[in-house]
């Protein structure tokens, strides 16, 4: 990535940019471990599908402002976080401007191409998070059937893949179809956030199929524990085909 890394601030929020006005990450300065952007909050929906002791092994592709990394670091203390970032300057900015903790025991940052890492890895992960874009909002190999298949092979039996997609892109529907193909139909894309981001999930065979009531109960527990409110997300999800019959169709 050859773009400039820029930092801006407005109304108590610090933003990360890659040489453009497009926001690559954000942090409310007074609440550095909270999730400021809607789509980063929705990337935590997988936490509603498991107990508080999940996940233990997380692979994150694309660091950005480290918002998701910091949230999991604080609220899932059992989790070991492996982060693949293609640009070392992004990690340096996350440490300097976005309060990324220095804890090599729990946060293992590696530099390189996320798709290459998944191919070479022998590890299995409970949760794989993918949020990788360049300055022009391009994902490259991170939105392809081979990449999604490689991710599926690296997931534990009850593992989940969570991907940030741009729903305003013309090929958004194709992205969802690629994910569904790789996960044999066990994939969903949430209704889009106001920002134009849509979060998609892919599940392997052992993943649960919770009811809406169970999801709401888990969301209330997560809100009490962390301050993160995913109840509005569930309301939107309940209006989609993915909760037909009151059970999450994943």
Active-site residue set: 131
Q: Is the peptide bond before 55 cis (omega within 30 degrees of 0)?
A: yes
Report the C-alpha gap between 236 and 250 in whole angstroms.
Answer: 16
With beta carbons less than 8 A apart as the criterion, state whether 164 and 199 touch.
Answer: yes
Report the C-alpha gap between 202 and 161 in whole angstroms.
Answer: 5
Residues sharing a CB contact under 8 Å with residue 94, sequence separation 6 or more, in sequence order: 16, 25, 63, 64, 65, 66, 69, 100
Residues sharing a CB contact under 8 Å with residue 112, sequence separation 6 or more, in sequence order: 84, 86
* Tokens, residue 43: 């990337």
Report the C-alpha gap between 17 and 62 in whole angstroms.
Answer: 14
User: Which H/E stretch holds residue 199?
Assistant: strand 197-203
With beta carbons less than 8 A apart as the criterion, state whether 61 and 129 touch.
Answer: yes
Instruction: Give the position of tokens 């729990």.
Output: 106
């Amino acid at each position: 990535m050859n773009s400039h890394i820029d930092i801006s601030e407005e109304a108590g929020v610090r933003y990360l940019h890659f040489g453009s006005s497009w926001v690559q990450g954000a942090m409310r300065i007074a609440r550095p471990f909270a999730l400021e952007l809607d789509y980063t909050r929705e990337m935590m929906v997988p936490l509603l599908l498991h107990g508080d002791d999940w996940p233990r092994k997380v692979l994150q592709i694309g660091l950005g402002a480290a918002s998701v990394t910091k949230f999991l670091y604080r609220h899932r203390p059992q989790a070991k976080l492996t982060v693949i970032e293609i640009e070392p300057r992004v990690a340096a900015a996350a440490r300097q401007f976005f309060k990324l903790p220095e804890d090599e025991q729990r946060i293992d940052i590696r530099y390189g191409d996320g798709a290459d890492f998944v191919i070479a890895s022998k590890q299995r992960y409970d949760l794989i998070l993918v949020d990788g874009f360049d300055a022009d909002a391009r994902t490259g190999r991170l939105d392809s059937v081979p990449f999604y298949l490689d991710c599926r092979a690296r997931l534990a039996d009850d593992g989940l893949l969570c991907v940030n997609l741009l729903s305003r892109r013309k090929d958004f529907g194709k992205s969802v179809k690629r994910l569904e193909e790789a996960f044999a139909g066990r994939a969903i894309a949430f209704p889009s956030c106001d920002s134009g981001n849509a979060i998609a999930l892919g599940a392997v065979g052992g993943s649960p199929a919770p009811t809406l009531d169970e999801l709401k109960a888990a969301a209330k527990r997560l809100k009490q524990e962390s301050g993160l409110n995913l109840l509005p997300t569930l309301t939107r999800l309940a209006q989609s085909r993915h909760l037909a019959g009151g059970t999450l169709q994943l």
